[in-house]
Amino acid sequence: MAVPFYEDPLAMAFTALAFCILAIIILLIVLVRQSVLLRRYKTLLSGNTQANIEELLIQQQEATAELRAAQEALRRRLTELEAASQKYVQRIGIVRFNAFPDVGADLSFSCALLDGQDNGVVVTSLYGRTECRTYAKPIRAGASSYVLTDEEKQALMQARGIGNEKV
């Protein structure tokens, strides 16, 4: 007749030994994981022996908040500068020409100076043998309220990037 499991001392001993071995394996796994976590913790606290993890997290949150505030200030400043830059001279077109048949070397010129909204001025200088005259005509939204000469129109087109073809 077979002896029940709970009455067999040899079976009980092997069962207890199996549980002990299983407990030792689990203990070793826990110890290895704990040493890994301890090494990471020491790396995190390296150079700062007085701090704990909570203080480090608070410091990181404060530093992150400061960086976000600085980034937002830079973003606002960039937006302001982009808006302001539309009012600066950005595009220039210049055409040299010979205004009078008795003067050579293309000493006369028309120069268009425009901002980012196509506002600005066209300056024309007419060079002659006995005199030199300079004129300025305002430009608003790429057009002038004054009649423009062909050279002034060409300089304006160059500044606007429309082309270099003659009018």
User: How confident is the model over 38-49, as pLDDT tens digits?
Assistant: 888 877 777 666
Residue 82: both structure tokens together: 């982009």
Q: Where does the pLDDT of residue 167 fall: very low under 50, low under 70, confident under 90, or very high at 90 and above?
A: very low
Q: How many domains does the chain have?
A: 3
Q: Give yes or no for a contact between 93 and 112, defined as CB atoms under 8 angstroms apart.
A: yes
97 plus 145 within the same structural domain? yes
Could you tell me the sign of the dihedral formed by the alpha carbons of 110, 114, 117, 120, in that order?
Answer: negative
Q: In which region does residue 142 sit, left (phi positive, over 0), alpha (psi from -120 to 50) or beta (all else)?
A: left
pTM for the model: 0.56
pLDDT of 8 over the 70 cut: yes
59 plus 20 within the same structural domain? no
Range of the domain at 97: 91-160
125 plus 102 within the same structural domain? yes
2 plus 27 within the same structural domain? yes
Does residue 152 fall inside a structural domain? yes
Does residue 42 fall inside a structural domain? no
Does residue 75 fall inside a structural domain? yes
27 plus 60 within the same structural domain? no
Q: Give yes or no for a contact between 134 and 141, defined as CB atoms under 8 angstroms apart.
A: no
Query: How far is Cα 114 from Cα 1, in angstroms, rounded to an integer?
Result: 111
Does residue 166 fall inside a structural domain? no
Q: Where does the pLDDT of residue 111 fall: very low under 50, low under 70, confident under 90, or very high at 90 and above?
A: very high
Query: How far is Cα 33 from Cα 45, in angstroms, rounded to an integer?
Result: 18
**What's the pLDDT score for residue 5?**
66
Looking at the chain, the whole-number percentage of residues with pLDDT higher than 90 is: 57
DSSP-derived pairing of the beta strands 132-139 and 108-114: unpaired
**What secondary structure letter does DSSP report for 102?**
T
Query: How far is Cα 38 from Cα 22, in angstroms, rounded to an integer?
Result: 24
Through-space distance between the first and last CA atoms of the chain, rounded to whole angstroms? 121
Q: Give yes or no for a contact between 45 and 53, defined as CB atoms under 8 angstroms apart.
A: yes
